[in-house]
Structure 1
Amino acid sequence: MLALNSRTTKTAFDVASSDAALHRFLHGLPGVDKVGAEQRTAALSTRSIKTTAKAYAIDLAIRMVDLTTLEGADTPGKVKALCAKGRHPDPADPTCPSVAAICVYPSMVPTAAAALKGSGIHLASVATAFPSGQAPMAVKLYDTSAAVDAGADEIDMVINRGAFLAGRYLEVYEEIVAIKEACRSAHLKVILETGELVTYDNVRRASWLAMIAGADFIKTSTGKVTPAATLPVTLIMLEAVRDYVAETSRKVGVKPAGGIRTTKDAIKYLVMVNETVGEGWLDPDWFRFGASTLLNDLLMQRTKLATGHYAGPDYFTLD
């Protein structure tokens, strides 16, 4: 638990009354122990998960995947195929679970909504001038509303990193609040783009800023910037969530995205979630993987556990 001062328990509208107040609050958070965070994740990465526990972890990871396509060359046919794969990741095995969500650009939301109808799979759409976040507020609000109107029940917005890094915290806060309102009943995931935040302290500050502004999830990355998700960055975000929940009783989810490609990597994240925020977050409602290639490796490892043999490299569709 962080040793937080009394300002931490103030309501969001107290903390966010001005740039100066937000600056005092965010810079009053304890600094991140860089060496400690990196050693902690390295130690957790050595945990060994075997047999039955591994099978459970693989199925859980599949259920946590936000299966994603965010390319300029996306077509309705590609999105329909992705939705079909999300519904039935392994058509030969009806016991294989579905993914958590399909994530697409706003223009592809109507296609995905039709393809996912009745599946129970969430439909996420990036918005707010993804991935740069550099657009007028009116454009960002329209982007969000249009995606929700078309059927998205989750919105992945990206913060204005330029404003954050310049210390214009109130501007970032007010933008998140406005996008949250435009989401209506849809859940809001706030992308911090941690690869551009420079320091771990900034990751902690951005995490708190997003949460007090109303984020339902905080997300590491767009997947368009290197580095994307890393274990130390995700640990810092999980610790921020843990401490925020302790102070406010409002639960917030976490989504690492970008660069998570193997079952081994996914299990490292699940171990870290369990050890940092507890079993309550080992659920697709509270933890997701933003990924396009991870699912295939999870399916290959799942087949290996069930049959003793790896499926051929062309057994599962390539995304």
Structure 2
Amino acid sequence: MSLKIVDKPAGAPVHKRNPGYPLDLDWVERVRMNRSALERRANTIGARRTVKKDYQLAWLLRAITLLDLTTLNSDDTPGRVERLCAKARNPLRRDILEQLGMEGRIIRPGAVCVYHAFVKTAVGALEGTSIPVAAVSTGFPHGLAPLETRLGEIEASVQDGAQEIDIVIERGMVLRGDWQGLYDSVRAFRKACGAAHIKTILGTGELATQTNVAKASLVCMLAGADFIKTSTGKEKVNANLVTSLTMIRMIRWFAEETGIEIGYKPAGGIAKAADALRYMALMKEELGTHWLQPHLFRFGASSLLTDIERQLEHGLTGRYAADYRQPMV
């Protein structure tokens, strides 16, 4: 078996980073979301069209390249991070790659995501690869530390080698409509990141309404966010298709108005390969196949890779392997 994975076409334009724009409160106030309509649309994802057989295996291989392989536990250790990085270097067993006819291709996740304390460990463990290290920052997961502390944490992570910073916004700013405060803080975070890309975590499960989610998405993009992200993974409600649809449509609107393409990252609770396929189908239908690339779409997940590997082996053998045959760490 040999699968064809379509990469970015030769000669395609280089992705232009979001420069940030002045806060447009008139635009923010025009934003409205119809939750019932969003729910009806979300319920159609994966129901009308599905990918099967070789096409499904190809999509699952692509899903691996879109993963932010993550460990954000209170009991993380340098050893656990090093094992996670070893898995990032070789996310699939060699025999699976050989049976797929992919042994000559490099299949690796989009990034490894860790706490600041483990950035140096991850950078060292991934040396010689092109896999970036992402650090969660700014008082993760609540974002309520003093601003100076949050800015210092970003700068420290960048200095240690993080190429991506996942920041958290203050949810209270959204709930009380303090759009200027939200804009100013994200703008400051973006400046502290420098060349490192910034992903803004909205904590959507705590924002009360889809309109709030949409407005927060827009303000973060105007402030210079490279990605907007659903959740920390620590909230009671994390990523789901309804909220994803809200954020994706704001990304589309922003691109139509500015010409700038913003990335999207659902995180929290995405553990099954079938879930990954649904999110990928949503991206394809709403934004196009072009968005299914690591610089525009990521999954924040810790256990998703295990199920993807099991599903790939099932596609080849017709049997499901035990979880321990694809250990994460």
Say if 2:306 and 2:323, in contact at 8 Å, map to a contact too.
Answer: no
User: Could you report, residue by residue, the CA deviation over 1:212-254 in whole angstroms, capped at 9, with x for unpaired residues?
Assistant: 0000000000000021000010111111001100100011000
Q: Which amino acid aligns with 1:68?
A: T
| CA apart distance, 1:165 | 1.1
Q: What is the CA–CA distance in structure 1 between the aligned matches of 2:136 and 2:120, rounded to whole Å?
A: 14
- For 1:222, the equivalent position in structure 2 comes to 232
- 2:57 maps to 1:55: yes
Q: What is the CA–CA distance in structure 2 between the aligned matches of 1:14 and 1:228, rounded to whole Å?
A: 27
Q: What is the CA–CA distance in structure 1 between the aligned matches of 2:177 and 2:33, rounded to whole Å?
A: 19
Structure 1: where are the runs of 5+ without partners? 1-10, 16-21
TM-score by length of 1: 0.92
Q: What is the CA–CA distance in structure 2 between the aligned matches of 1:56 and 1:318, rounded to whole Å?
A: 21
- For 2:322, the equivalent position in structure 1 comes to 312
Q: Map residues 1-319 of structure 1 onto 2, 5 A cutoff.
A: 12-13=21-22, 15=24, 22=25, 24-29=26-31, 31-46=32-47, 47-93=49-95, 94=97, 95=103, 97-319=107-329
Q: What is the CA–CA distance in structure 2 between the aligned matches of 1:164 and 1:199, rounded to whole Å?
A: 10
| CA apart distance, 1:308 | 2.5
TM-score by length of 2: 0.89
Q: 1:181 to 1:306 in 2, by over 3 A?
A: same
Q: Which amino acid aligns with 2:213?
A: V
Q: How many residues are paired up?
A: 301
Q: Which amino acid aligns with 1:12?
A: Y
Identity of aligned residues (%): 41
Q: Which moved more, 1:277-286 or 1:308-317?
A: 308-317
| CA apart distance, 1:318 | 4.1
- Structure 1 residue runs of 4+, over 4 Å off? none
Q: What is the CA–CA distance in structure 2 between the aligned matches of 1:66 and 1:166, rounded to whole Å?
A: 32
Q: Which amino acid aligns with 1:53?
A: Y
Say if 2:23 and 2:222, in contact at 8 Å, map to a contact too.
Answer: no
Q: Which amino acid aligns with 1:145?
A: E
**In structure 1, the residue corresponding to 2:94 is in which secondary structure?**
coil
Q: Which amino acid aligns with 1:279?
A: T
Q: Which amino acid aligns with 2:53?
A: T
**In structure 1, the residue corresponding to 2:325 is in which secondary structure?**
coil
| CA apart distance, 1:14 | 5.6
Q: What is the CA–CA distance in structure 2 between the aligned matches of 1:299 and 1:308, rounded to whole Å?
A: 13
**In structure 1, the residue corresponding to 2:141 is in which secondary structure?**
coil
Q: Which amino acid aligns with 1:281?
A: W
Structure 2: where are the runs of 5+ without partners? 1-19, 98-102
- For 1:18, the equivalent position in structure 2 comes to none
| CA apart distance, 1:313 | 2.4
| CA apart distance, 1:90 | 2.1
